[in-house]
Amino acid sequence: MAAKWIELVTGPLEQKKQYRQAKARLEALPEPYKSVAAAFSRYLMYYGGVTEGDTIVQMYSDHVDLWERASLDGTPVSDIVGEDPVEFAETFAQAYGGKRWIDKERTRLIEAVDNARSKEKES
């Protein structure tokens, strides 16, 4: 019973467990993969703005998978990210749809303009 209440407030505990496991896998990467993966992780959290837990966990797990495979194969970081690391990160994040923080603000903006238009027509 307490678990359901906690999940209502914080979100599914299984997702948090999966996220923590992926984060531990990232921390276990050898350098330079670890520092680059951590930088990309930070960027993805800011840029991605995804609000759905399942999508965040999947994106983060796939992100760690990528760096683990690269580490095992000995693939150079530059071969993975290419010439523009920002473009790489943003393209990666765009592959994971779902609701984003900005979606709520877009809706608010549209509603505000629609309300203003309605009031203008009434006047």
Greater confidence (91 vs 3) lies with: 91
User: What distance in Å separates the CA atoms of residue 97 and residue 101, rounded to the nearest whole number?
Assistant: 12
pLDDT: is 8 or 82 the higher one?
A: 82
Res. 12 pLDDT band, cuts 50 70 90: low
Q: 81: exposed, middle or buried (C-beta count within 10 Å: 0-12, 13-18, 19+)?
A: middle
Q: What is the mean pLDDT of residues 93-111?
A: 79
Q: Report the candidate in 102, 15, 4, 99 with the shortest Cα–Cα distance to residue 60.
A: 15
pLDDT at 100: 67
Average the pLDDT over 88-92 and give the result. Answer: 91
Of 86, 93, 74, nearest in space to 33 by CA:
74
All domains of the chain in start order, with CATH:
2-122 (1.10.1900.10)
pLDDT for residue 74: 96
Asked if pLDDT for residue 98 goes beyond 90, the answer is no
In the numeric block, the tokens 């796939």 are attached to 62
Higher-confidence residue of 23 and 102: namely: 23
Contacts of 93 (CB under 8 A, 6+ apart): 44, 47, 48, 50, 59
pLDDT band at 87 (very low <50, low <70, confident <90, very high): very high
Omega of the bond leading into 12 within 30 degrees of 0 (cis): no
What CA–CA distance (Å, rounded) separates 46 from 28?
23
Amino acid 81: pLDDT: 94
Q: Please give the average per-residue pLDDT across 100-111, as a whole number.
A: 79
- For the beta carbon of residue 92, count every other beta carbon within 10 angstroms: 19
